[in-house]
């Protein structure tokens, strides 16, 4: 019998396993565990340089036309997931875990390393303000955040966002800003007193290396973020591979866990071998569940054979705001920029009575075709327009707290699939005037017709189905993640979050998973 069985090898499961190995425990990790092909290093120069010399069909469209997925499927997915190199991230998800969804577009991963293989690596500490509804504090998470900061290599800076982002210890230098975003930031630094303390800008906390770290290279500013894996951007898979190489974990891929049963002296875990569909069982003294909030909840409901209960699922409502800097129209495209988040914005919004966080990005990495449908002209004119406007465009994604929208409801259907019913994104665009005015002061303009309400589910921050409480009730966990009514089942992913702050949540989820693993073992 294994001391600890971890179910799932995404960000949460790998963080929990890492902490167990630090305590001398060799966990069994059960995972479906698809892997991508190793394409890192296939392109060794700036993407635009490469494109001038080579055909890029393979890289951008792919042999199975993965890059065109959003054109031919009713199920639209976030752009990065249409990149051929990212195909493995969502491989077979609909088959392995069917979901009948209304007003919610779930994205699931059965990859080794999970959804984080495609993430933007915006990695933020929850502060006490973010944790107000949690039975844990910033101080409880701090040792784990500190350890992860050193493990991952996080860039950032002590700036106006430090009160919102917490400790700056051990940060690497911030990501270099592109021309447009650098201009906006320069103006902000000149005019920040005009924002009356309600809007602040600063550097992101990003798992993006700005100098070599732990044998990994620094970022090349090569615009390949969408098209080719780079070790400069951290993925939890890197940590898992290290643990496997050092034989510190027993990692079993190809296993789809369906349910657990507590026995007198442990837990039996039942599942299927994905390849031949044969049943298989494992035994452990303790179980840590980290299959992602949706699949963890499914396994819990299946284990308890409960087809009635509806669990509440939180997600961050979000808006995507394309903006143009008129001063950059007609300029050459900035080819040496970083294509993911370069700056963050925090808005103490009076109109929404809450804290809202934004991410500012360049648009040099995605395909130009992504913007094609936004222009109401014939193809040739649209192309000309894109050529003129793209070098002058930036995009801001704004996140609201999960509590700002009624939660979705998740239930086991009669065939052991899931039913998920959500809410349309109804964020009131009439109330974002203050932030748009701030952007204009920084030289960036938008038009209401360009602003997109991100479909519910596409923020890809799923949480809250089995929340931690001081006094947990049914389908809730105690502060150590132990599921009420069980002795040996601990939940380590974001299913345990009682609230979803307006902040990318994975880093704090990883820190919390480490805390849960340690407290489970030490019996704190």
Ligand X SMILES: Cc1cc2nc3c(=O)[nH]c(=O)nc-3n(C[C@H](O)[C@H](O)[C@H](O)COP(=O)(O)OP(=O)(O)OC[C@H]3O[C@@H](n4cnc5c(N)ncnc54)[C@H](O)[C@@H]3O)c2cc1C
Q: Of the two residues 389 and 502, which places its CB atom closer to ligand X in the complex? A: 502
Q: How many CB atoms lie within 10 A of CB 342?
A: 26
Q: DSSP label at 194?
A: G
Q: Measure the CA–CA gap between 21 and 27, rounded to whole angstroms.
A: 8
Q: Taking the CA atoms of the chain, what radius of gyration do you get in angstroms?
A: 22
User: Which CB sits closer to ligand X, 248 or 255?
Assistant: 255
Cβ-based nearer residue to ligand X, 122 or 472: 122
Nearest distance from C-beta of residue 397 to ligand X, angstroms: 10
Taking alpha carbons only, the member of 41, 220, 204, 60 closest to residue 121 is 204
Residue number, 167 or 382, with CB nearest to ligand X: 167
Q: How far from the centroid of its chain's Cα atoms is residue 97's Cα?
A: 20
Rounded to a whole number of angstroms, the minimum distance from the CB of residue 440 to ligand X is 27
Our CB check for ligand X shows the closer of 118 and 389 to be: 118
Task: Using CB under 6 A, list all residues that contact ligand X.
Answer: 7-13, 30-33, 78, 80-81, 107, 109-112, 114-116, 118-122, 255-257, 290-292, 295, 299, 460-461, 493-494, 504-507
Cα gap 222→321, rounded to integer Å: 24
Burial class (CB in 10 A: 0-12, 13-18, 19+), 471: exposed
Which stretch of DSSP H or E encloses residue 2? strand 2-7
| Largest CA-CA distance found in the chain, in angstroms, rounded | 71
CB nearer to ligand X: give 33 or 84.
Answer: 33
Distances (CA, A) of 167 to 75, 236, 261, 349, 484: 40, 22, 41, 24, 33
Distance between CA 291 and CA 398 in Å, rounded?
27
Of 124 and 188, the one with the shorter C-beta distance to ligand X is: 124
Closest approach of ligand X to the CB of residue 113, in Å = 6
Rounded to a whole number of angstroms, the minimum distance from the CB of residue 413 to ligand X is 16
Closest approach, Cβ 185 to ligand X, in A, equals 19
For the bound state, the minimum distance from the C-beta of residue 388 to ligand X, rounded and expressed in Å, comes to 28
Q: What is the smallest separation between the CB atom of 384 and ligand X, expressed in angstroms?
A: 30
β-strand partners of 412 = 418
Give the integer Cα–Cα distance in Å for 503 and 508.
10
């Amino acid at each position: 019998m294994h001391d600890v069985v971890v179910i799932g090898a995404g960000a949460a499961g790998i963080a929990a396993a890492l902490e167990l190995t630090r305590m001398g425990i060799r966990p069994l990790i059960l995972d479906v565990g698809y892997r991508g092909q190793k394409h890192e290093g296939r392109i060794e120069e700036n993407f635009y340089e490469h494109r001038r010399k080579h055909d890029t069909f393979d890289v951008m469209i792919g042999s199975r036309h993965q890059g065109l997925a959003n054109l031919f499927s009713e199920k639209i997915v976030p752009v990065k997931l249409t990149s051929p190199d990212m195909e493995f991230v969502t491989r077979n998800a609909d088959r392995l875990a069917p979901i009948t969804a209304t007003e919610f577009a779930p994205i699931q991963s059965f990859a080794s390393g999970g959804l984080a293989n495609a993430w933007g690596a915006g990695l933020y500490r929850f502060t006490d303000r973010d944790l107000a509804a949690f039975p844990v504090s910033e101080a409880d998470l701090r040792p784990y955040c500190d350890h992860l900061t050193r493990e991952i290599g996080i860039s950032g800076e002590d700036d106006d966002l430090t009160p919102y982002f917490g400790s700056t210890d051990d940060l690497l230098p911030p990501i270099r800003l592109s021309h447009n975003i650098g201009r906006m930031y320069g103006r902000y630094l000149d005019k920040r007193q005009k924002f009356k303390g309600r809007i602040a800008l600063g550097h992101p906390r990003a798992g993006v290396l700005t100098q070599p770290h732990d044998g990994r290279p620094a970022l090349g500013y090569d615009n390949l973020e969408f098209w080719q894996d780079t070790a400069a951007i951290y993925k939890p898979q890197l940590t898992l591979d290290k643990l496997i190489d050092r034989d510190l974990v027993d990692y079993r891929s190809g296993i789809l866990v369906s349910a657990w049963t507590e026995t007198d002296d442990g837990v039996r875990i039942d599942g299927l071998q994905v390849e031949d569909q044969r049943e298989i069982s494992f035994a452990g003294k303790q179980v840590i569940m980290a299959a992602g909030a949706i699949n963890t909840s499914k396994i819990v409901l299946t284990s308890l054979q409960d087809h009635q209960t509806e669990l509440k699922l939180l997600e961050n409502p979000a808006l995507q705001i394309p903006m143009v800097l008129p001063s950059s129209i007609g300029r050459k495209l900035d080819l040496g920029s970083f294509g993911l988040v370069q700056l963050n914005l925090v808005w103490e919004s009076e109109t929404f009575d809450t804290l809202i966080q934004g991410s500012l990005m360049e648009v040099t990495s995605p395909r130009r075709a992504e913007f094609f449908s936004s222009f109401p002209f014939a193809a040739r004119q649209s192309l000309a327009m894109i050529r003129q406007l793209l070098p002058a465009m930036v995009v801001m994604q704004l996140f609201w707290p999960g509590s700002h929208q009624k939660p979705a409801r998740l239930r086991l259907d009669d065939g052991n699939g899931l039913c998920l019913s959500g809410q349309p994104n109804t964020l009131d665009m009439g109330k974002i005037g203050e932030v748009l005015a701030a952007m204009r002061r920084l030289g960036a303009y938008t038009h209401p017709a360009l602003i997109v309400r991100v479909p519910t589910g596409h923020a890809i921050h799923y949480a809250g189905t089995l929340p931690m409480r001081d006094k947990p009730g049914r389908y809730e966990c105690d502060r150590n993640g132990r599921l009420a009514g069980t002795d040996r089942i601990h939940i380590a992913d974001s299913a345990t979050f009682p609230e979803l702050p307006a902040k990318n949540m994975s880093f704090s989820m990883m820190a919390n998973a480490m805390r849960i693993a340690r407290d489970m073992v030490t019996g704190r």
